[in-house]
Amino acid sequence: MSQQQGFLRRFRDKTGSSLGWIIAAVLVLEGLAVVERLYTRKMMGEELDRRAQIMLRRGELVLDFSLDMAELTMAEHKWDMESHLSSRDSAFSVVRRLLENNRQVVGACLSFVPGYYEGKGELFEPYGHRVGNEIHLQDLAETDHDYTDNPEYQSAVRTGAKSWGEPYQYGEDNQADLVTYSCPIRDKDGRIAAVCGLDLDVSWLGDTLNHHPFYASSYVLVLTRNGKPVAGPTHRPRMQKDEERIVALINDSTAVRQRKGPYTVLPFKERGHDRDGIVYLLSLSGDPYWQIATVNYTDEVYAPARKMRRYNLLVALVSLLMLLLILYRYVRNARRLSDAEVREARIGSELHVARNIQNEMLPKAFPAFPDRTDVDVYGTLEPAREVGGDLFDFFIRDEKLYFCIGDVSGKGVPSAMVMTVTHSLFRTFATRMSDPAHILNALNEALCRDNEATMFVTFFVGVLDLPTGRFRYCNAGHDHPVLIRDNKVTLLDAKANLPIGVFPDTRFEAQECPLPAGTTLFLYTDGLTEAKNEQRELFSRQRVLSSCAGEKDCRALVEKVSRAVRDFMGQAPQADDLTMLSIRYAPDSKEVLLSESLTLSNDVAEVGALGDFVKSLAARLSLAPKPAHDLRLAVEEIVVNVMNYAYPEGAEGKVQVDARADREVLRILVSDEGVPFDPTAAARADTSLSVEDRPIGGLGILLARGMVDSINYERTEGRNVLTLKKKLI
Amino acid sequence: MKTTIQESEKQLVAVLEGELDTAAAPEFEAAMQPLYDCQGREIIIDCTGLEYIASSGLRILLNILKKARAAGSRVVLRGVNEIIRDVFELTGFINLFEFE
């Protein structure tokens, strides 16, 4: 549950910023769409302009052509008509010829001024019109048609100019739209004899001009200069009302209009239809000054833009979905990655902690024993990885230097853990045991007990008795230490033995040799001998030995060998931990102030003599009462202890007391030939117990420890040797 | 080493003089025998003249203390010098005995 919540929270965290990105992307997309739409609309508007102009120009051409043809026919036949004015009867044949010449002319008439032919009646109007392919001729005056009321006639007679009349409906059901072109005909004297009228059929104009409109419901209208409709899409009855509205709009002088070159543009909104539109208007430049209008509806004009918008929306939606998908994948991957990072960081910090723990356990303060002149130790450990499998350690307890060096099989965290365990076990055992073989046996048993990973450790334990120089050691499969003495470099004779951690029943036995003053011991792990150079050659023991030569100082020795191996390796990577430990043993030979001995039998009654002996020593060394008392008490307690325990009950034996002093230290050695017995190994008495719980024993050794600077036990040459050290300065 | 015991109705006073080393301990233990039978009387051990004491002597004093406590008696050490006081301190006996 909490994991799920964690995931959600992380998802929110991750998506929080990403959502911002998505919104930004959507805004950008929308912005682009808006710009595109505006641009498209602009282009559509321009396209409309162009199309409207084409429509109007086409209409203009058609109109001009038709009207010009009528005018041309009139011009051609004017001479014919004028030359036949003399004969009244020839007027009919003139009319016939007019009709035959131009098929668009559906009717023609000659309206003679009243009384032109004297004696032949007032009015005379010969008229011809087409009925199918036939031409019918008649005198309209005979049908009582008074043409003198006709405004076109009157105008032609009055002004003597040619003109186009107003269009009118004609025929059954008014199905034909006609327009009359009137021209005065003059006789030889220049008087107006008659007015010739040509009836032009313009019914076809609407169809022709509205053939193939650019937009589905746009159409073309033709109006007279007075705004009377001449032609339009009459075959569309539904359009009739629209047409009327548009005609009214064009004739409305208050309507918003805009000049665009020779065109006039009128935007409109059809009430109740919610259809916006634009009217383009063009006036003919000559008589009859008709107007051509094209009507376009905005929704159709911008229909492609809307279509495009829909496509754009679809594309945007798809893009958005893809973006979301990408985001989802990104977040998922980021989560996986961050999980991996967290894990790595945790391991990293744990490794760091492990390394710190490891480093904490290694002796780091050098010089190791600044207040000692008889021994110096220096060691380094350079791990190959973050944590290493090597260890070294040393400390002085009861005037003995305990030291060890070890190498756990393998590398990395597991070996480092084994190493840490081994290290702490060594500390534990070496503070209780003084025999290196015992320490190794205990370590081996402990490591074998729960060693499921079967990691073994090569280990070397050394115990150097500092007062005597007695060196005891035990090796468990580790590299042989190097001995450096008097410019001679040799290997310490150490049995190889098995490493610890292999078999629980392995029994280690200690070896020993005296370590003469001025000897330096050099210990290392196989990281040194097996260091490889770029040619993959090993550094080898031989090079270890040769680089050790001529160096006595601990630190200088380690640094010299370290330099040698670094130079050898060059750029080659360090494959294993590099661990070195060197120990220099150089007890000073000082001026002896005092050297006395006393031999006692193992009888506490002899203690009186011992008291006198110690008192005389204190007197010779001019000790103050307090240190004199302390020395006497310590020696007495140790000697009594030996008397009581070194020899079997009832057996007689000797206890020897040797005192040696220089200016700095008084050493009293209590030795016997009894059974091996180390009183310093006994547990410390608990001084905090109550009267009832307080045991009677354990007081002597407690007192002795408190009264001198150190007590050291050593079994050497079949003797127990206890060394009490009391500083004199 | 010289040990004198003065008995009265209320008190048992042991006066110690000299050096109480391990050799002198058996004799001292014998001399102190009356203190084991204190019967609730207060025990005063006068250490004014005591110059030296080893762990064997301390053990005898601890035994006396244990017996006395069992019999409901106090044990008071009187006149302990600085050096010997350090010995009591080191062994933790300073917390067991009463000093005056």
Q: Render pLDDT for A458-517 as a digit per residue (tens, 0 to 9).
A: 999 999 998 888 899 999 999 999 999 888 899 999 998 899 988 888 899 999 998 988
Q: What is the DSSP string of A102-169?
A: -TTEEEEEEEEPTTSSTTS-S-B-EEEEEETTEEEEEEGGGGT--GGG-HHHHHHHHH---EE---EE
Q: Is 70 exceeded by the pLDDT of residue A15?
A: no
Q: Are B2 and B17 in contact (CB under 8 A)?
A: yes
Average of pLDDT values for B21-28? 91
In this predicted structure, which of A103-112, A240-249, A267-276, A593-602 has the lowest mean pLDDT? A267-276
Which domain, by its residues, includes B7?
A: 2-99
Q: Are A627 and A665 in contact, with CB atoms under 8 Å apart?
A: no
Instruction: Check: CB of residue A677 under 8 Å from CB of residue A712.
Output: no
- Contacts B66 to A, Cβ<8 Å: 691-692
A475-492 b/e (C-beta count within 10 Å ≥ 16 → b)? bbbbbbbbbbbeeebeeb
How many whole angstroms separate alpha carbon B7 and alpha carbon B2? 17
Within 13 A of A577's CA, how many CA atoms are on the CB side? 27
Residue A225 pLDDT grade (very low, low, confident, very high; cuts 50, 70, 90): confident
pLDDT band (50, 70, 90) for residue A184: very high
Chain-chain contact of B66 with A636 (C-beta, under 8 angstroms): no
Answer positive or negative: Cα dihedral of B46, B49, B53, B56: negative
Higher pLDDT, A257 or A657: A657
pLDDT at residue A21 tops 60: yes
Q: Beta B11-20 vs B2-7: how paired, if at all?
A: antiparallel
Judged by CB atoms closer than 8 Å, whether chains meet at B90 and A626 is answered as no
CB contact under 8 A, A692 and B69: yes
Contacts of B55 in chain A (CB under 8 A): 637, 640, 699-700, 702-703
Whether chain B has a CB inside 8 Å of the CB on A640: the answer is: yes
Instruction: Give A-chain residues touching B54 at CB under 8 angstroms.
Output: 633, 636-637, 640, 700, 703
CATH code of the domain in which B89 resides:
3.30.750.24
Residue of A669, A680, A666, A662 lying closest to A628 (CA atoms): A666
* Interface predicted TM-score of the whole assembly (ipTM), two decimals: 0.93
- Residue A231 belongs to what H/E stretch? strand A229-231
Instruction: Give dist(CA A501, CA A444) in Å, integer.
Output: 5
Structural domains counted in chain B: 1
Residues A587-607, mean pLDDT to the nearest whole number: 83
Tokens of A490: 């040799």
The CA-based angle A228-A283-A236, given to 5 degrees, is 50
For residue A590, what pLDDT band results from cuts at 50, 70 and 90?
low
Alpha carbon A478 to its chain's center: 50
CB contact under 8 A, B96 and A688: no
Strand order in the sheet with A275-283: A229-231, A219-223, A291-297, A275-283, A263-270, A258-260
Please tell me the distance from the alpha carbon of residue B78 to that of residue A402, in angstroms, as a whole number: 46
Does pTM top 0.80 for this prediction? no
Of the listed ranges A2-11, A354-363, A422-431, the one predicted with least confidence: A2-11
Going by DSSP bridges, is the β-strand pair A457-465/A229-231 parallel, antiparallel, or unpaired?
Answer: unpaired
Structure confidence at residue A499 (pLDDT): 92
pLDDT at A14 over 60: no
- Give the closest of A637, A694, A706 to B96, CB-based: A694
Q: Are A155 and A55 in contact (CB under 8 A)?
A: no
Alpha carbon of B61: minimum distance to chain A alpha carbons (Å): 10
Q: Which residue of B59, B83, B91 is in closest CB contact with A626?
A: B83
The closest CB to that of A640, out of B22, B82, B83, belongs to: B22
Identity (one letter) of the amino acid at B1? M
pLDDT of residue A16: 61
SS3 A87: coil
> Is B29 part of the contact surface with chain A (CB cutoff 8 Å)?
no
Using a CB–CB cutoff of 8 Å, tell me whether A624 touches chain B.
Answer: no
Whole-angstrom distance between the N-terminal and C-terminal Cα of chain B?
22
Chain A segment 440-469 residues within 8 A of B by beta carbon are: none
> What residue in B sits closest to A691 (Cα-Cα)?
B96
Residue A17 has pLDDT above 80, yes or no: no
Edge-to-edge strands, sheet with A654-661: A594-601, A654-661, A665-672, A719-727, A710-716
> Which residues does chain A have within 8 Å of residue B65's beta carbon, measured at their own beta carbons?
691
The residue type found at A474 is C
- Candidate from A10-19, A163-172, A500-509, B87-96 with smallest mean pLDDT: A10-19
Beta bridge partners, A661, equal A594, A666
Q: A696 pLDDT band (50/70/90 cuts)?
A: low
CA A494/CA A460 separation, integer angstroms: 9
Segment A665-689 shows an average pLDDT of: 83
Size of interface A-B (CB pairs under 8 A): 72
- Check B58 against A699: CB less than 8 A apart: yes
Provide, as residue numbers in chain A, all residues whose Cβ is less than 8 Å from the Cβ of B63.
Answer: 696
Contact criterion met (CB < 8 Å) for B58 and A637: no
Contacts of B98 in chain A (CB under 8 A): none
Which domains does chain A carry?
362-585 (3.60.40.10), 594-727 (3.30.565.10)
Give the helix ranges, DSSP H, for A570-692.
607-620, 625-645
Helix (H) or strand (E) holding B7, with range, is: strand B2-7
Structure tokens at A498: 């098995």
**What are the backbone dihedrals phi and psi of residue B3, each rounded to the nearest 5 degrees, phi first?**
-125, 125
Nearest to B90 among A686, A689, A703 (CB): A703
Which residues are CB-neighbours of A133 under 8 A, at least 6 positions away?
none
Token pair of A589, please?
């030979």
pLDDT, chain A, mean? 85
In whole angstroms, give the CA distance from residue A534 to residue B99: 78
- Say if strands A126-131 and A105-112 run parallel, antiparallel, or are unpaired: antiparallel
Contact assessment for residue A411 and residue A525, using Cβ atoms and an 8 Å cutoff: no
Residue A166: both structure tokens together? 């107003």
The answer, for A607 touching chain B at a CB cutoff of 8 Å, is yes
Q: Minimum mean pLDDT among A42-51, A575-584, A682-691: which range?
A: A682-691
